Amino acid sequence: MSNLVFVYGTLRRNERNHHLLNGATCIAEQAWTNGILFNTDNGYPILKNINDIDVVYGELYEVDDNQLARLDELEGYYGEGKINFYDRVVKTIFTDKEIYHAFVYVMTEQQTDMLRVKVEHEDWKVQNFIKQNHFLYFAYGSCMDDKRFKIAGEDHHFEKLVGLGVLDGYSLGFTVRFSDGGRADILETGGVVEGKAYEITSDAVPYLFRREGVGDRLYRPAIIEIKINGMVKEALTFIVVQKEEELAPPDHYSEEILRGGEGTLSLDYLEKIKEKVIYLKGKESIV
């Protein structure tokens, strides 16, 4: 029998307990549910199953009964009505593709004293990833345009361009609506997104967060895997929080994307961006 499980801590990809999900099917790398995520002093987070306002980001997997039993053992879940370390409940899980219902391990009363501060950015992987001295940043929209960095006086953060990054399983969209048109986003709906991969330090994070409107919940930071120089690497990127129906970007924004991608992105991919913009403009003129 198959089961769906939402994971948000050490069971996530490239984390220390992810091996327990070997053989499981990943339904969505970008998934979220309601609740509040707290840090502990033990190197893992705890989800408090409360309200429908706060959000926790994680991953969604399909597992069989044997895999679920291994997860139960890890989380100290012995069954309904028993004294459990974590409770296993069914929660609504949101993804770019559809809405699911899945098992989630949530805190019990005996864990109350373990709670510390809330996990930053509602994402345990992001919180830990951006504390490294050096890491990759994947730019796929106007942030590929070095001219914008220079105007902002922040170009010194982005001097080390590693090269072309390729993100599988995602598509480029324009789901942020400004008064003059759409802005770029990535959606986990299949396809391929190309972008520029920079090696940056944590000093660049405040600028990127301001630029992407993280504090206003316009974009959120996320960790994705990209193919670069024959290897697969984790990288920081930014994803739209409240996605709307796609809207054609203004000409100046399209030019920034194309100018920024020239010389790094493939000619075929740049042509596809042009075709998508033309399509969206044509769709809007019909309406």
Burial class of residue 194, CB neighbours in 10 A (0-12, 13-18, 19+): buried
For residues 240 and 70, what is the distance between their CA atoms, to the nearest angstrom? Answer: 34
184, 249 contact by CB (below 8 A):
yes
- The answer to whether residue 122 is catalytic is no
Out of 75, 188, 212, 246, the active site residue is 212
162, 219 contact by CB (below 8 A):
no
Task: Retrieve residue 105's tokens.
Answer: 């391990």
For residues 92 and 221, what is the distance between their CA atoms, to the nearest angstrom? Answer: 22
CA–centroid distance for 214 within its chain: 13
For residues 214 and 240, what is the distance between their CA atoms, to the nearest angstrom? Answer: 9
Q: Per-residue DSSP letters for 122-134?
A: G-HHHHHHTTSSE
For residues 19 and 55, what is the distance between their CA atoms, to the nearest angstrom? Answer: 26
> DSSP 3-state helix, strand, coil percentages of the chain (rounded to 5)?
30, 40, 30
Which active-site residues does the annotation give?
212
